[in-house]
Chains A and B, each alone.
Chain A
């Protein structure tokens, strides 16, 4: 099992450009999450999907959109990137009756 995979690993964008971060899990988990990690601030939840077909805002959703494409895939879209969105983005998933979240390796995004 690959677990949680994320693409790309690194990305540099110019202000105003758009992009989609991809996440997939092969553990048959119901729930998936997107976090951003900034120095000294820990991880903050952007959006989550409790189950296929549902998505909800987390703590810092502004400037982002998500799509739960199917049970395996959960993508994060930046429509018009801003320098404040420079961060490391992590995708995670968790299964029914499991309180552990499994994390992907992260995407390091720089917006200039």
Chain B
């Protein structure tokens, strides 16, 4: 079984400050990792994903994440946030390889609030 833990339920930050949203996972097999963003009253949208290769992954809207296999982490970072980044962020994991319909396991979510 897999599990995902997002270490902060809420992260308040001021505009133009850097931010890190933390994600740790547990799995007995190799995994693919994802970050999704959910803006208020909307569905989820993929920010970035790690499948293989470089451990530093760049996504949309200036976000990036680093896969650390030894620490089983996949933390999300942005060097300078905007008001429009206010949203809930979800880390997710699935088994690597196999069929492409692999089930996702989600973390509990982190609400990022950017203050002016």
Chain A residues packing against B (C-beta within 8 Å): 4, 30-31, 33, 40-45, 48, 50-51, 58, 90, 92, 94-101, 103-106
Contact = CB atoms under 8 A, between A and B. Distances in A.
Contact of A103 (B4, B45, B49, B107): B45
Contact of B49 (A31, A41, A100): A100
A42 B104 CA distance: 11
Contacts of B51: 99
B106 interface: yes
Contacts, number: 60
Given A45-B103, A45-B104, A4 B9 contact: no
Contacts of B6: 42
A100 B106 contact: no
Nearest to A31: B101
A98 B100 contact: yes
28 contacts: A4-B43, A30-B101, A31-B100, A41-B108, A42-B106, A42-B107, A42-B108, A43-B90, A43-B104, A44-B106, A45-B104, A50-B101, A94-B100, A94-B101, A95-B100, A96-B100, A97-B100, A99-B32, A99-B34, A99-B94, A99-B100, A100-B34, A101-B104, A103-B44, A103-B45, A104-B43, A105-B42, A106-B43
Contacts of A103: 36, 43-45
A36 to B, nearest CB: 11
Given A50-B99, A101-B104, A90 B44 contact: yes
A42 B43 contact: no
Contacts of A96: 100
A43 B51 CA distance: 21
A66 to B, nearest CB: 14
Contacts of B106: 42-44
Interface in B71-116: 90, 94, 99-104, 106-109
Nearest to B101: A31
Q: Which of B36, B94, B104 has the most CB of A within 10 A?
A: B104
